[in-house]
Structure 1
């Protein structure tokens, strides 16, 4: 069962949220997806992710990152392709104690694209991680939830 939180936040918002999370949780971020090379891009702080807060596609589903404890082992899954080559998947299938983060961000200097925090895992560690980061997002962005979408209160 998927647990999703959609939110709108600038680079400053995202940094603030994850700096707070990093104070309480020992986190690292790993670019997720299917790759031709077995080269994991691992970031030990939110501010080391290149291009954070900038969305280059205009799409909400863009680069994503597994968020996991620094203590958790990362598993990279081999995926045999039809042409016989091997690709490498970094996802929740073999890393159930994680959550997935799409940063969203500014597109073409004028549009704010939504970010998302989601998990398909039923592991207690994943649920706890999702819950803690969701709590920080709601507090930091002063939001309320409407059908899974974080709506920002503007005063």
Structure 2
């Protein structure tokens, strides 16, 4: 067993960690998947988490590390409602998707089921932030329609909880659109996965391709939609949260 953290020449962090898997040798146990998702969520843009199943041979470890350094794990962006719908429309032309609200108990009335949508255009309010910080806005587990996704069940303070999370689905990605908060501040969005699976990586590539085809500008490590760029050009604030320090605000290139 090992846990290695190293810093690449570009300043990004690469973490290589051994994990316990199910009998198939590739699927993470629920606890390991949840831990990987937490590490991924806490990491900075450009950082990479590479997971190595315990008992893997040295030759296979080298292959896993090589694959892991090539995998796409996070896409940060700024997008208005029209910006983001232009992206999801292109992706949905290529793939039949479903969007399931993650941790739905935080957003819907007690006892309600997690909403499931088969197009981003069906999600009411997408592109308008429901909370003043991107990290607390709604997140959706996104997968192809035929992918089976099991709920996570756990007991919290004596109460049984069941919810959806990407930590329980290797073939899924997580989609947080961010959006406009009170018509004053545009919060960043994030698409991410902890998984190197073919399906998860295909989803990541499709979204990145859609950003490019819809003329999103690349500023720092963010993709910036046409309307979002115009907002920035006119002096609007693009940031991760209304209470964030101004150092976190996106700036036009010099």
TM-score above 0.5, yes or no = yes
**Comparing both structures, which one devotes a greater share of its residues to helix?**
2
RMSD across aligned positions (CA): 2.1
Say if 1:3 and 1:123 are closer, same or farther in 2 by CA, change over 3 A. Answer: same
Q: How far apart, CA to CA, are the structure 1 residues paired with 2:191 and 2:212?
A: 12
Q: How far apart, CA to CA, are the structure 2 residues paired with 1:47 and 1:152?
A: 17
Say if 1:151 and 1:22 are closer, same or farther in 2 by CA, change over 3 A. Answer: closer
Give the one of 25, 28, 37 matched to 2:95. Answer: 25
Q: Which stretches in structure 2 are left out of the alignment for 5+ residues?
A: 1-48, 50-71, 231-254
Deviation at 1:119, TM superposition (A): 0.8
User: Are residue 5 (structure 1) and residue 75 (structure 2) matched?
Assistant: yes
Larger radius of gyration: 2
Tell me if the contact between 2:75 and 2:192 (Cα under 8 Å) persists in the aligned partners.
Answer: yes
Aligned length: 153
Tell me if the contact between 1:43 and 1:49 (Cα under 8 Å) persists in the aligned partners.
Answer: yes
Indicate the residue corresponding to 1:57 in structure 2.
131
- TM-score, length-normalised on structure 2? 0.55
Give the one of 223, 239, 254 matched to 1:150. Answer: 223
Q: Which stretches in structure 1 are left out of the alignment for 5+ residues?
A: none
Indicate the residue corresponding to 1:139 in structure 2.
213
**Comparing both structures, which one devotes a greater share of its residues to strand?**
1
Superposition misfits of 4+ residues, deviation over 2 angstroms: 34-38, 141-146, 148-155
- TM-score, length-normalised on structure 1? 0.88
